[in-house]
Amino acid sequence: MVKIGTHVSSSKSLDLVFDRGKEVGAQTIQFFASSPRSWAWKERTEEEKQLFNEKREKTGIAPVVVHSSYLFNLASGDENLRKKSINGVINELKLCEELGIEYYVIHAGKAKGLDEKQAIKNIIESMNVILSEVELKNTIFLYETLAGQKGEIGKTTDELVQLLEPFEGRNMGICLDTCHLYSAGYKINEEEEFLAYKDELERKIGLERVKVIHCNDSKTPFNSRRDRHEHIGEGSIGYKGFELFLNDEYFKTLPFILETPKVGNWDIENMKRLKNLIKAPVAQ
């Protein structure tokens, strides 16, 4: 049974993510644990955490995904920025572990003036610090596939392999983003290329380590190296790419989460469009 959901706001109180998810008919949700554009960390009250757990059980919305702040850059050559990023991830991961949130997704980092080899080394060193502070028991840490703009690390399967290899046996994997994959040069909207990419994942990483799919069409053309999300079927990927994922034997078992533009009732429309592409029953 395919589960389809969307990114929702966590403003005011974390428990409201379930109200907002239910309002649009989401079966799975993603949200920010802290402001994606502020370094300030807000401690959550016991009452808020209790309400979060009560509403999760009541709504049945699952799995739950937290997306890291966009400010974090674990690859940075700026020691102050990297230290702030490490501390930010630690705070968010500790909350995820406490609340039993299934997945934590992060943009690993940007080279910004560094060569990519050094940027990857910085990410691995950053992760060593993070994992010395947080034991991953309840939450699986996921690197997101990135479009490759502005020196992003994680745009190719080989880069992701390098980020995962030092942490074999840990609760770590990857999150696929359809817009990013297409923009990075993976032609996922053609069956032969889609299957070739799936085979590459299986050989180099293992499909079992792919845990979440971000469903976004692309405003920009194939291999643009730009991260510009579009509504399902309205961009350069088109319906075929999503149909391939939604009906794939393995991928259809994963949560599909929209990160499309927040305009009017488009979350509802985008989820409807995805469901219409499924050839098997949808979770109710």
In-domain check, residue 44: yes
pLDDT at residue 152, rounded to an integer: 97
| DSSP class per residue in 88-152 | HHHHHHHHHHHHT-SEEEE--EE-TTS-HHHHHHHHHHHHHHHHHH---SS-EEEEEP---GGGE
Of the pLDDT bands very low, low, confident and very high (cuts 50, 70, 90), residue 1 is confident
Cα 159 from Cα 171, distance rounded (Å): 18
- pLDDT higher than threshold 60 for residue 53: yes
**Cα 91 vs. chain centroid, distance in angstroms?**
18
In-domain check, residue 283: no
Over residues 193-218, the pLDDT tens digits come to: 999 999 999 999 999 999 999 999 99
| Average confidence (pLDDT) over 107-128 | 96
Cα 222 from Cα 219, distance rounded (Å): 10
Number of folded domains in the chain?
Answer: 1
Question: Could you check whether the bond before residue 281 is cis, i.e. omega within 30 degrees of 0?
Answer: no
Percent of the chain with pLDDT over 90: 95
Average pLDDT, the chain: 96
In-domain check, residue 154: yes
Of the pLDDT bands very low, low, confident and very high (cuts 50, 70, 90), residue 37 is confident
In sequence order, which residues have a C-beta less than 8 Å from that of residue 159 and are 6 or more positions away? 116, 120, 153
In-domain check, residue 238: yes
In-domain check, residue 55: yes
pLDDT at residue 284, rounded to an integer: 42
- Range of 259's domain? 3-276
| DSSP class per residue in 16-70 | HHHHHHHHHT-SSEEEESS-TT-----PPPHHHHHHHHHHHHHH----EEEEPPT
Over residues 238-276, the pLDDT tens digits come to: 999 999 999 999 999 999 999 999 999 999 999 999 999
Over residues 159-183, the pLDDT tens digits come to: 999 999 999 999 999 999 999 999 9
Task: Enter the pTM of the model.
Answer: 0.96
In-domain check, residue 51: yes
| Average confidence (pLDDT) over 228-237 | 98
- Phi-psi label, residue 79: left if phi above 0, alpha if psi -120 to 50, beta otherwise: alpha
- pLDDT higher than threshold 50 for residue 109: yes
The count of other CB atoms within 10 Å of the CB of residue 95 is 22
- pLDDT higher than threshold 80 for residue 104: yes
Query: What is the CATH number for 53?
Result: 3.20.20.150
Contact in structure between 112 and 150 (CB atoms under 8 Å): yes
Q: Which two tokens stand for residue 232?
A: 């399902």
Cα 239 from Cα 56, distance rounded (Å): 31
In-domain check, residue 281: no
Of the pLDDT bands very low, low, confident and very high (cuts 50, 70, 90), residue 281 is low
| Average confidence (pLDDT) over 148-158 | 96
In-domain check, residue 282: no
